[in-house]
A and B are shown apart, each in its own frame.
Chain A
Amino acid sequence: MGAELAILLAPLAGGALLALIGHRRYAPEVNAAVSIATFCAAALLVARVIEEGSITALEEQFFVDSLNVFLVALTAFVSMTTSLFSRPYMRIERAHGRVSDAGMRLYHAMYQLFCFTMLLVLTTNNLGVMWVAMEAATLTTVLLVALYRTHASLEAAWKYFILCGVGIAQALFGTILVYFAAERILGSGMTALLWTHLDSVKAGLEPTVMSIAFVFLLVGYGTKVGLVPLHNWLPDAHAEGPTPISAVLSGLLLNVALYALIRFKVITDGALERPFAAALLTGFGLMSVAVAAFFLSRQRDIKRMFAYSSIEHMGLITFAFGMGGPVASFAGLLHMTVHSLTKSAIFFTVGHATQKSGTQLMEGIRGLVRVSPALGWGMMLGSVAILGLPPFGVFASEFLILTTAIAQQPWAAPILLVSLGVSFAAIFGKVQAMVFGEPTAARLPHRPALAPVFAHLALVLLLGLYIPAYLVDWYRRAAQLIG
């Protein structure tokens, strides 16, 4: 009982506290402490779920099962490491004069509120509250994307707000339709929005309404996942916001939005006899992989390039869930985990690399290994991991997804292989040039935080070599749930 409340209250109270503390010298430490507290609460929650299985709390308003518990743990972990990374990072930004004191206050308070909204999306059992929290997640990050107040960042934030606002409005319409379908069975009131109840009566839900609802939900939450053609906000928001925000957007928010979509997919699949939701997810996923791979190879800005890589990987995960079945869903869940860890690690190195070089353009970043071996190797290893080379965990999940695709959707396999090949060539070539070669970088006023990078990469390596039994068990049970 305590743990699931603490996990939400810690970031909420932390956000308020940080708004009060403002730009005082120790604000980054407080921010990190709050995130560590959240992570401890998440660890307690995980321990309880391992012991007792799925739990509900507060009159079933909150619900934790094997599907969301690992995402809760992942979210709490990555937001903790990101807060540790952002400690020196934002100090350097402040020293470089890119952020004002008011900006620092805004950054810290909103960072915690953003974590709160994501954890609320993950743990709530109420699909209406899920929508509210998802919209709030957009609202908390929109001012962060505009933190530098430059032309480009304002533009990116405006685009982010408008596109996600419009998208999320469609999701609300979808949620209303789901409520409408559920109300006929469960009666009016809160119960008809509780996922656990919907799940138990899903076979009786009106199929026409559910299929229309799912289309709206896919467009709505799909915008936040960054599925092509709804992805336009994503590269801009990632490139123009502060790097810790790019890391949590890529590593966490996209996952959380996809999680919402999966919850609805489970219900829709139950209501419909034909694989309607699955076909949509497969199609959108495949399109995202293919389009992102080709856009990726044309980027000059390093953060934009990795943002497109995120679109590609989210597409791959969506495709895996679309195929369904125990292996593909397992692989999708594993890929969510390793992508989140690897991509945030990459953004950490990218952040310091751009600070050192003073530019985000890749031709301006050279010779990282000479200036700072840890930074250079961190970026190299991170890129190698995200490109799916063994022995990292991304290889395992991509291998599973590809082999299932060859067995179940043979027509899609060549498209996937070509896209992965194109992005490999693009990213590897560019990263190699940045890591090796003649250095252009300068020294930084604060020591960069590279421990989180290697912590993440070590975990990804571990997941590639050996997945602990209880994790396999979770993934299996969650995969069963997804179908």
Chain B
Amino acid sequence: MVLHYGPQLVNLLAAVLLLLAFAMLSQRRILSLINLFAAQGLVLFMATVLVAMITAQTHLYWSAAVTLVLKVFLLPWILHRLIRRLNVKWDVETLVNIPTLMIFGLVLVILAFNLAAPISLLAGTVTRSTLGIALATVLLSFLMMITRSKAVPQVVAFLAMENGLFFAATATVYGMPMVVELGIALDVLVASLILGVFLFQIRSRFDSVDTRHLERLKEQ
């Protein structure tokens, strides 16, 4: 049953992933942003498990487990703690207003689909049509990163970008070899810990985690 509808279900989850990327792009509250990130992790986990079931690739179960632990529980928990300690629950300001951002986002999605089309054609995987979505998620996170002025949303965008990349790997090649995936997961974890430390340093220096304070180094 699941196997029969498997590919369609993966496509559905991919669509949800894209929707979540847009939701994050338009989200103004930091707390909701982190919850959306956790939801994205959950969708990613489900998609990975599904692909693993369809293709009987056992190592995908492992990377699904890593995703669950890292992206659904650990990282959101770290982020929640971080904003509680930093006390930054207020609204997120974007540098560009949100409707304009949405239009930029749409353009990026079209771009991603066009770029992915020739590659998808070559892929023999059942999930090949989702590569465009994966690339779109990466690009949308990138857009979010450059349009947010607060540090925490930038971190979330960075992590969401990694989600998109992970999904790209699952969709096109049924995941990278295990050693590499573990290495990537470790990097992401260390990166978020370092960022946490770093945010405290920034705050103790400026009493705020607005990266607009960080614009003094400019070319003369």
Question: Which residues of A are at the interface with B, using a C-beta cutoff of 8 A?
Answer: 126, 128-129, 131-132, 135-136, 139, 142-143, 146, 149-152, 154-159, 161-162, 165-166, 169, 172-173, 176-177, 179-180, 183-184, 188-190, 193, 206, 208-209, 212, 236, 240, 295, 298-300
Contact = CB atoms under 8 A, between A and B. Distances in A.
Contacts of A189: 177
A129 B179 contact: yes
A151 B205 contact: yes
Contacts of A159: 214, 217
Contacts of A149: 201, 205
Nearest to A236: B217
A113 B180 CA distance: 19
Contacts of A128: 176-177, 179-180, 183
A157 B205 CA distance: 14
Nearest to B202: A154
A209 B138 CA distance: 18
A479 B176 CA distance: 31
Given A142-B198, A155-B217, A208-B122, A169 B162 contact: yes
Nearest to A172: B165
Nearest to B141: A169
Contact of A173 (B118, B168, B183, B211): B168
A152 B119 contact: no
Secondary structure at the B interface, as helix, strand, loop or mixed, is helix
B158 interface: yes
A209 B120 CA distance: 10
A155 B122 CA distance: 43
B100 interface: no
A149 B169 CA distance: 38
A298 B198 contact: no
Contacts of B211: 158
Contacts of B168: 173, 176
B135 interface: yes
A188 B173 contact: yes
Contacts of A300: 220
B35 to A, nearest CB: 23
Chain A CB within 10 A, most for which of B169, B183, B216, B217? B217
B197 interface: yes
Contacts of A146: 198, 201
Nearest to B125: A180
A232 to B, nearest CB: 9
Given A135-B187, A143-B197, A129 B219 contact: no
Given A151-B216, A299-B220, 5 more contacts: A152-B217, A161-B198, A180-B119, A184-B124, A193-B180
Interface string B134-171: 01001000100100000100100010011001001100
A161 B124 CA distance: 36
Interface in B174-199: 174, 176-177, 179-180, 183-184, 186-187, 190-191, 194-195, 197-198
B145 A166 contact: yes
Q: Interface centre among A129, A143, A161, by most B CB within 10 Å?
A: A161
Contacts of B179: 126, 128-129, 190
Given A159-B214, A166-B145, A129 B122 contact: no
B65 interface: no
B168 to A, nearest CB: 6
10 contacts: A135-B187, A143-B197, A152-B216, A152-B217, A159-B217, A166-B161, A173-B165, A176-B172, A177-B119, A180-B173
A190 B178 CA distance: 8
Which of A146, A152, A172 has the most C-beta atoms of chain B within 10 angstroms of its own C-beta? Answer: A172
B110 interface: no
A297 to B, nearest CB: 11
A161 B180 contact: no
A206 B135 CA distance: 19
B123 interface: yes
Contacts of B220: 298-300
B115 interface: yes
- Which has the most chain A C-beta neighbours within 10 Å: B172, B184, B187, B213? B187
User: Which one of B119, B154, B180 has the highest number of Cβ atoms from chain A below 10 Å of its Cβ?
Assistant: B180
A151 B158 CA distance: 23
A99 to B, nearest CB: 14
A382 to B, nearest CB: 24
A156 B187 CA distance: 21
A158 B180 CA distance: 26
Closest 3 pairs (CB-CB, A-B) = A128-B180, A132-B183, A155-B214
B106 to A, nearest CB: 21
Contacts of B180: 126, 128-129, 131-132, 193
A61 B213 CA distance: 45
Contact of B142 (A152, A166, A298): A166
Contacts of A143: 194, 197-198
B187 A139 contact: yes
A135 B162 CA distance: 12
A189 B123 CA distance: 16
Contacts of A150: 205
B194 A169 contact: no
A212 B119 CA distance: 9
A132 B165 CA distance: 14
A208 to B, nearest CB: 5
A162 B216 contact: no
Contact of A183 (B119, B138, B173): B173
Given A128-B176, A173-B135, A158 B191 contact: no
A149 B214 CA distance: 13
Given A146-B201, A154-B201, A176-B173, A169 B183 contact: no
